[in-house]
Chains A and B, each alone.
Chain A
């Protein structure tokens, strides 16, 4: 049996499979050369609200909880796992230690390809222009 349009079909298939695999190939290359962003850490503080690992992985959930606790439950004091208390506030707690959004939050988020919409309302420590 002869294949109709064999050549174009095979060429098409090759292009298709190539396009399908390209992200993995490029991705592996990028991963090899990827460097963790250099974050500007708070100068006078040693510890975050929670452990570094927790913050790195779960700061978005924490912020979500914070906002519901503060606004919906009216509870604005947070006790961390070590028993230390923090006032719940994005602008007045997080950003009082992490005094630069650009050199901290954004550095990671740029790499991760997320752009939290929080700053449409919340005022970053650098101020607005």
Chain B
């Protein structure tokens, strides 16, 4: 039987493929995990931020907050166009290019606006990520699993807000290693990163670092709770969001 050898090889190939997959399939079934949410964590149905640009609108003011954020998260300062930033400032026409108007009030036009990840309700970055390294948590935060990121940068092309940075080189080359925050990791070259709404702080009951340092100019809270601080200001003040036409539904609102 001439065919025997061939069919054997075929079967063996299929069996080998099965063997490679089986452990994974078996490992994924399993009992309840012995983990729970930290007792001190603060929760929300959907986290959101309101930026009061009548209070926070200077380059220096924003720079101060950016410094706090970048220091806590070990974000390097790279002095070229391969730079990284989680929080930064920009003038009106860069922050809201679609909503410009030649006769904008003087103060609105000269203000500097803090920019950060919008933690969109419909985040394009999550939609395009091929490994689920960027994902949306049930509380609305668009988070990143740096361990899984392959650095394809599809999310950077997908983000309409330029909120993402890539580690083109080794970030530690640009960090002051003596001033690192030893409680938080750095990143390595070849992965994307961005603002994480301070998930690691929310998990231990602290507000995001920029909010804490903002002296009330950044309001943070639960968008789905009608009695929350953010809902209160959103009811009372006029706010806009960046690039409404992109359909992303940002969770960061700006009081103008």
Contact = CB atoms under 8 A, between A and B. Distances in A.
Contact of A91 (B38, B39, B182): B182
A69 B33 CA distance: 9
A76 B184 CA distance: 15
A69 B35 CA distance: 7
A49 B233 CA distance: 45
Contact of B186 (A92, A123, A129): A123
Which of A65, A73, A76, A88 counts the most chain B CB atoms within 10 A? A76
B185 A72 contact: no
A87 B180 contact: no
A123 to B, nearest CB: 5
B183 A77 contact: no
Interface residues of B, number: 31
A121 B177 contact: no
Contact of A75 (B36, B139, B178, B188): B36
B38 A127 contact: no
A60 to B, nearest CB: 13
A71 interface: yes
Contact of A121 (B35, B36, B186): B186
Contacts of B180: 123, 127-128
Interface in B15-44: 33-39, 41
Contacts of A88: 35
A79 interface: yes
A78 B38 contact: no
A72 B74 CA distance: 21
Interface stretch (B91-99, B140-148, B214-222, B246-254): B140-148
B186 to A, nearest CB: 5
- A: interface residue count bin: 20 to 34
Contacts of A73: 33, 35
Contact of B135 (A70, A72, A75): A72
B80 to A, nearest CB: 22
Interface string A101-129: 00000000000000001001111010111
Nearest to A126: B182
B203 interface: yes
Contacts of A92: 183
A68 to B, nearest CB: 8
A121 B37 contact: no
Given A69-B35, A79-B36, A127-B177, 15 more contacts: A67-B147, A72-B145, A74-B137, A75-B35, A77-B37, A78-B35, A80-B34, A91-B185, A121-B146, A121-B186, A123-B181, A123-B184, A123-B185, A123-B186, A128-B177
Interface of B: 33-39, 41, 74, 135, 137-139, 143, 145-147, 172, 177-178, 180-188, 199, 203
16 contacts: A67-B147, A74-B199, A75-B36, A76-B35, A77-B35, A78-B35, A91-B183, A92-B183, A117-B188, A121-B187, A121-B188, A123-B180, A123-B181, A123-B182, A127-B182, A129-B177
Closest 4 CB pairs of A and B: A120-B188, A75-B35, A121-B185, A128-B177
